[in-house]
Structure 1
Amino acid sequence: MIRAHLRKINKPGMKTIKSPDGDIIDCVLSHQQLAFDHPELKGQKPLDPPERPRGYNSSNETNEVFQPWSMSGESCPEGTVPVRRVTEEDILEFHNISTFGRKTIESSITNDSPSNGHEYAIEYVSENAFYGGKANINVWAPRVELQTEFSLSQIWIVAGTDGVDLNTIEAGWQVHPQLYKGDRQPRLFTYWTKDGYKGTGCYNLICPGFVQISKKIAVGSAITPVSSYGGHQFQITLLIWKDPKNGNWWLQYGGELVGYWPSVLFTHLKDHATMVQFGGEIVNSRGLDGSHTSTQMGSGHFAEEGDGKASFFRNLQVVDEGNSLVPPQNIKLSAQHPNCYDIKQGFSQNYGNYFNYGGPGKNPNCP
């Protein structure tokens, strides 16, 4: 069953690249990528790039991290996209094929009582119609204690009813040992669902959905270098926005257009988002003694330690109905367990709307 599933999702490549970190990258013809196995997308080809939102300035793009597979000088040919090959080992980390590459059902991100071990430290806006979000995020390699846990930092684009028909689009970096056969490097990732994580959607390119157009960026591959405590801070810029003409949701990483989530994947997000969220998420599986695990969020340090020590999101923006990047208004904060992970916001001329966030997990105040 696993081999049959792998034959279905691993499309043949025109070229294969062995990454120094052990990943295998297949250069797949762009019109033959897995996305086009989706019933609503069969026979289509990748769309041309849309216009960026008004207020977008390419000179402000930050992308100080790179992917190991491309650092040796290898690249994919024109007309192909780099796809991280899924292996038997990847799938065997999960209980069954149906759960491979999916998040567990989550509680509301703004709910004060975490569900299924998911915990958050986020900033969000929710009193309007939204058409995207943008931020600079510094990259760390947080400790993840258990194989079944993860730690991530991302942007969420959200619409629908929690627990019923929630639609989300998500992108950021994550450390997720179970998804990447024990690997603990931070990796660029995407996610989507249209039914509150129950049966639709997946990480990266593991199921039909997200359409990649970039031949330079491999979704699901590691990013390097990472920030160091008290040392150099490495950051990425992520922009997600809805194309006003075709209605698809596009992802840009630094100055590179990665691809898009077709609007046909969604119900509520066919129109607009009702919430945009920025921040960190972890899964705490609880140890055998019922105590909190020491899985870190962000740098593993609390927000009050500030820049260079705590993780940050900077230059937060949202996309309005006029397809313009604007500062978020009426910002709210949420941290369910501030003794484990917390968040602190601010504003400056250099960084616009920003916040620091994160924490160590288990500590004397987070038993």
Structure 2
Amino acid sequence: MDFNSPVISLLLHFLLLVSLVCHVYSSETSGQNQTFLPNEEFHKLKRTIKMHLRRINKPGVKTIQSPDGDIIDCVVSHKQPAFDHPTLRGQKPLDPPERPREHKQMGIEDYNFQLWSFSGESCPEGTIPIRRIKEGDMLRACSINTFGRKLKRVRMDTTGDGHEHAVGYVSGDEYYGAKASINVWVPQVESPYEFSLSQIWIISGSFGEDLNTIEAGWQVSPELYGDSYPRFFTYWTTDAYQGTGCYNLLCSGFVQTSSNIAIGAAISPTSTYNGGQFDISLMIWKDPKHGNWWLEYGSGNLIGYWPSSLFTHLKDSATMVQFGGEIVNTMSTGAHTSTQMGSGHFAEEGFAKAAYFRNMQVVDSDNSLIPLPNLNVVANRPNCYNIQEGTNNGWGNYFYYGGPGRNVKCP
């Protein structure tokens, strides 16, 4: 692979931008370790948190207690956080758009279960399920201002900034969406301020301050959620993570329409080594009529949309699509992290042992799903996490990826 090529250079530049490492900038933000705050400052912080929680947590018409400790509030759809956004105020959710055309793909059935709905509970029609944010969630964050967000500033003076990836990508054309099936695992995460995720990125912009991204997948993030469950998540930004966008529904912007899937909720069942493999299928695509970017989870289950008014470059099309895994390596023990990516096993172990993306496709200008043209794969620390691509009749474009992190070749 030519790491001096413009495409690889652009990709590595992007990899420097993505995600959150608390310890990198905690001393530069207002979020000191709350344990050591003076008593007066601590009470001031608690009051600020309560005010922030009142803004985030909308009153529901029904409350559901999940087995994992989550509280799900069923919020009237037009009162959800999205409509606090200045460009969306006073609006209501739009009707579903025309779905992209595709040839039927064969493969493992995907599962769309979440722990909160195992008991048969559901939200009434006209409402959406929202995971309630608690005081403890905010106290785990680096600061109130950065809660639910990725890095505000990009540090260009370090290599990788602690983020390690194994991804497949396409670039050099106009893309109007992407789809893939991803098997879900429970990777071990070494430090509370590290995470492990697998996702789709829809990308446009110059990879400077005007970077636009739309992201969706599953993640294990003890800091954000307070546990080690794999959870369905979304993200967006229009300024390279500096001030816009957030995870899930933690800020205004994403408009949810689904009444049976909660963004940020735990996914179950999950895949097991040498055992059953359980997928989630995700599709993001641009509505040709209104220009909004819609998200589908599972078979025909529309979650909602990112309004085109949120974006600059993504008002038109994407210039790159990525699929794959990412971890954060904080070196908390002085050695490489043992945080796992995917299943925690290398790509060459194959089916039922390594994590995979399968049936990867992109949406073209005719609103049709097509196989990936010229898929490239890259792993920036292949001795720690790697990736191997392939193609077959059942899975179309696919790859295995992941790894254990620290090992004899990755000290």
- TM-score in terms of structure 1 length: 0.96
Give 1:115 shift: 2.7
Aligned to 1:155, which of 183, 200, 216? 200
Aligned to 1:207: 251
CA contact (8 A) 2:105 2:394 kept: no
Deviations 1:306-347 (A, max 9, x none): 011000000110000111100111111111000000000000
Aligned to 1:227: 271
Aligned to 1:126: 171
Give 1:287 shift: 2.4
Aligned to 1:271, which of 287, 296, 316? 316
Distance 2:340 2:108 in 1: 28
Question: Percent identical across equivalent pairs?
Answer: 64
1:142 and 2:174 are equivalent in the alignment: no
CA contact (8 A) 2:128 2:259 kept: yes
Q: Indicate how the Cα distance of structure 1 residues 194 and 366 shifts in structure 2: closer, same or farther if over 3 A, else same.
A: same
Deviations 1:198-257 (A, max 9, x none): 111000000001100000000000000110011110001100000000000000000210
1:167 and 2:212 are equivalent in the alignment: yes
Q: Indicate how the Cα distance of structure 1 residues 56 and 44 shifts in structure 2: closer, same or farther if over 3 A, else same.
A: farther
Aligned to 2:120: 73
- Across the two proteins, how many residue pairs are aligned to each other? 362
Distance 2:154 2:374 in 1: 23
Give 1:106 shift: 8.3
Unaligned runs of 5+ in 1: none
Q: Indicate how the Cα distance of structure 1 residues 120 and 17 shifts in structure 2: closer, same or farther if over 3 A, else same.
A: same
Aligned to 1:340, which of 367, 380, 384? 384
Q: Mean alpha-carbon deviation: is it higher for 77-86 or for 162-171? A: 162-171
Give 1:265 shift: 0.7
Q: Indicate how the Cα distance of structure 1 residues 54 and 227 shifts in structure 2: closer, same or farther if over 3 A, else same.
A: same
Distance 1:44 1:184 in 2: 36
Deviations 1:77-131 (A, max 9, x none): 11000000011111111121111001226879xx9x8532111100000010000
CA contact (8 A) 2:108 2:279 kept: no
1:311 and 2:350 are equivalent in the alignment: no
Aligned to 1:35, which of 82, 87, 102? 82
Give 1:62 shift: 4.2
Distance 1:69 1:159 in 2: 35
1:281 and 2:326 are equivalent in the alignment: yes
Distance 2:130 2:170 in 1: 33
The residue correspondences of 1:11-22 to structure 2 (distance < 5 A) are 11-22=58-69
Aligned to 1:186: 230
Aligned to 1:295, which of 302, 325, 339? 339
Specify the code of the residue in structure 1 equivalent to 2:319.
Answer: T
Distance 2:185 2:170 in 1: 25
3-state SS of 2:384 partner: coil
RMSD value over aligned CA atoms? 1.7
3-state SS of 2:214 partner: strand
Unaligned runs of 5+ in 2: 1-47
Q: Indicate how the Cα distance of structure 1 residues 238 and 68 shifts in structure 2: closer, same or farther if over 3 A, else same.
A: same
Specify the code of the residue in structure 1 equivalent to 2:221.
Answer: H
